[in-house]
Amino acid sequence: MLVKIQQTKSNFENIFEVSSNGQVLFNAKAPWLKISAPFNMENVRKLVFSDVNGTTLYTTRYSIIDNALEESIPFKYLISKEQKFGQFEIIGKDGKEGTFYTMQNGMFERKFCIEHMGKVYWGYSIDKGKKNIVSIYDEDAQIAQITKPLTVIENLDIYFLHIKEDFVSLIPVLSFFTVYYDYRKYNNAGEFTKNSVEISVSYSYDKNNSKYNPNWIAEEFGQQTLDELNAFLDNLEAEGRAQAKKIGKLVALSFLIIIIIALIILFIVFVLL
């Protein structure tokens, strides 16, 4: 099954829409302001996940003390072989259901953890050219893949969640995890943008690479599904380059207008003198 997590707003607030086959399933919200104030930070950091009627399904709780104690020792993972970063508790209608966090096991071993309802799922993040990929595992078996284009227009991120049919019950929590992942890795805190384009190409090399199967989508959902995803990535990059070119022309035109105005002012001043 394919689920799309699309950021729909990035100025003054970060809003996401979760959909499948053109039907909106959920909505989510992440903090927009840059978090630096020491007071009331738990509430400022809160992520919210709701259904289409606006009913809250999940929120997060961030404990400053717990995170500070865990993260305060530099390179703790070199001794203990594990160290948690960015722990956000998942709060459902009946209380705590789990936790999102990043687990560091070594210098080149870092993964995301989704603890939910007594189960633990691991997310292995890598950059592969013009896309970022998170391979989701249940123990040793891959159950899902999250794909993010590294071309971003107007600071609006897009994620594609391909998930095996046997695990569709995890769509809400994995969609919420995607919002958490965006907040932790790609959040443009406090930025106001208009007519912006970011086109990146990146490659990462660590232990996570061994968890990435480039043919997983084709094997699970067919070659056509993979081809459609790659076509979208290509089209988005082409759209980004076209918009970047347009922005460049507008900037050049603005500078030209400024120069002309300056020359006119200088001419008037010279005449008056």
140-180 tens-digit pLDDT: 999 999 999 999 988 999 999 999 999 999 999 999 999 99
Write out pLDDT tens, residues 105-136.
Answer: 878 788 999 999 999 999 999 999 999 999 99
Q: What is the mean pLDDT of residues 179-185?
A: 94
For residues 1 and 225, give the distance between their C-alpha atoms in angstroms, rounded to a whole number: 10
Specify the pTM: 0.85
Write out pLDDT tens, residues 220-272.
Answer: 999 999 999 999 999 888 887 777 666 666 656 666 677 777 777 776 767 76
- pLDDT band for position 41 (cuts 50, 70, 90): low
- pLDDT band for position 35 (cuts 50, 70, 90): low
CA 197, chain centre distance (Å): 16
Which of 243, 239, 196 lies closest to 11, judged by CA?
Answer: 196
- pLDDT band for position 80 (cuts 50, 70, 90): confident
Where in the chain are the domains?
A: 2-249
Residue 36, pLDDT score: 53
For residues 96 and 104, give the distance between their C-alpha atoms in angstroms, rounded to a whole number: 23
Q: What are the structure tokens assigned to 230, written together?
A: 């790659």
